[in-house]
């Protein structure tokens, strides 16, 4: 029998260890797996490398993980925002390493890892400082930059609905990096609002097939990071 449903958040994130490379879904607060991140904060792990589009807001979610000193390095496309205070302080103090990647290159590197592709050439970043030190190849007369796949030990993702096989649906723009991160990690952990019986998700509506998912945990009413940031709430 296949049952990927975990009884609680603490057991769900037990795969996260010191030194793990952790993908975290979400674009800003949309799709941020806030409760899973907080469960990782509670584990007290350190030396993490985090791969995420942004670098957290306020004092919750990814910002809470950074604030607790758990993160050694972050790989992202856009670390700056009006509320990315924790990241900026750590970065300026030299306490967190940053690798900035163009957003589409970040997405494709993740997808490539999940699809078993050993990298790809893209026109993105050609002629810019981001291409420095990377292999350049001329294809059809245009300059392309080689980018390597980006894989992770663990992915933390938020979705809308799952069944016990790990089939997922997403909601609106909370989908963003979720489906590709599910593919690219050795162990994918997903928090969902609802867990439904097998067969309750129309097979034509499955966005991420369960083969890409290892652990599912229900968080029926996830917190609003947007509200938490406005109210200046902190975790823990």
Partner 1 sequence: MTTFGPKGLSVPQMAWRAAQDIPDGSYVNLGIGMPELVADHVPTGREIVFHSENGVLGAGPIAGPDEEDEELINAGKKMVTLVPGAALFHHADSFAMIRGGHIDVCVLGAFQVGTNGDLANWSTGGSDAIPAIGGAMDLVAGVKRVVVLTKHVTKTGERKLVETCTYPLTGQSVVSRIYSDLAVIDVTDGGFVAVEILEGLSIEDLASLTGGPLRPAPGIVSLAPPNL
Which residues lie near partner 1 (CB under 8 A)?
A: 27-31, 53, 77-81, 88, 91-92, 98, 100-105, 107-108, 110-111, 122-130, 170-180, 207, 224, 226
Kind and range of the H or E run holding 159: strand 152-162
Secondary structure class of 41 (helix, strand, coil): helix
Residue number with CB closer to partner 1 (45 or 155):
155
In the numeric block, which tokens belong to residue 17? 């260890």
Minimum Å distance from CB 160 to partner 1? 9
Minimum Å distance from CB 129 to partner 1? 5
Residue number with CB closer to partner 1 (17 or 100):
100
3-state helix, strand, coil in the chain (%, to 5): 30, 30, 45
Minimum Å distance from CB 30 to partner 1? 5
Residue number with CB closer to partner 1 (43 or 171):
171
Q: Which residues contact 94 (CB under 8 A, 6 or more apart)?
A: none
Q: Where on the phi/psi map is residue 166: left (φ > 0), alpha (ψ -120 to 50), or beta?
A: left
Q: Which residues pair with 120 in a beta bridge?
A: 147
Rounded to whole angstroms, how far apart are CA atoms 155 and 150?
Answer: 12
Minimum Å distance from CB 196 to partner 1? 19
Which among 92, 56, 89 has a CA at the least distance from the CA of 74? 56
Distance from CA of residue 122 to its chain's centroid?
22
Minimum Å distance from CB 110 to partner 1? 7
């Amino acid at each position: 029998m296949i049952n990927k449903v975990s009884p609680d958040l603490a057991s769900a994130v037990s795969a996260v260890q010191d030194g793990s490379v952790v993908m975290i879904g979400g674009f800003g607060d949309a799709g941020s797996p806030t409760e899973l991140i907080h469960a990782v904060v509670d584990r007290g792990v350190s030396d993490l490398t985090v791969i995420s589009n942004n670098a957290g807001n306020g004092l919750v979610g990814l910002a809470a993980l950074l604030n607790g000193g758990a993160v050694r390095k972050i790989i992202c496309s856009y670390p700056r925002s009006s509320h990315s205070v924790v990241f900026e302080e750590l970065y300026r103090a030299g306490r967190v390493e940053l690798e900035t990647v163009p957003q589409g290159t970040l997405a494709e590197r993740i997808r490539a890892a999940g699809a078993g592709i050993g990298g790809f050439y893209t026109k993105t970043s050609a002629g810019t400082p981001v291409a420095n030190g990377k292999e350049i190849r001329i294809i059809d007369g245009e300059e392309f930059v080689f980018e390597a796949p980006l894989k992770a030990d663990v992915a933390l993702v938020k979705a809308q609905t799952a069944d016990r096989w790990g089939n997922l649906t997403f909601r609106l723009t909370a989908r963003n990096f979720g489906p590709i991160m599910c593919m690219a990690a050795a162990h994918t952990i997903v928090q969902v609002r609802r867990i439904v019986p097998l067969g309750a998700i129309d097979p034509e509506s499955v966005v991420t097939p369960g083969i890409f998912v290892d652990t599912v945990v229900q968080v029926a009413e996830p917190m609003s990071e947007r509200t938490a940031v406005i109210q200046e709430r902190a975790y823990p």
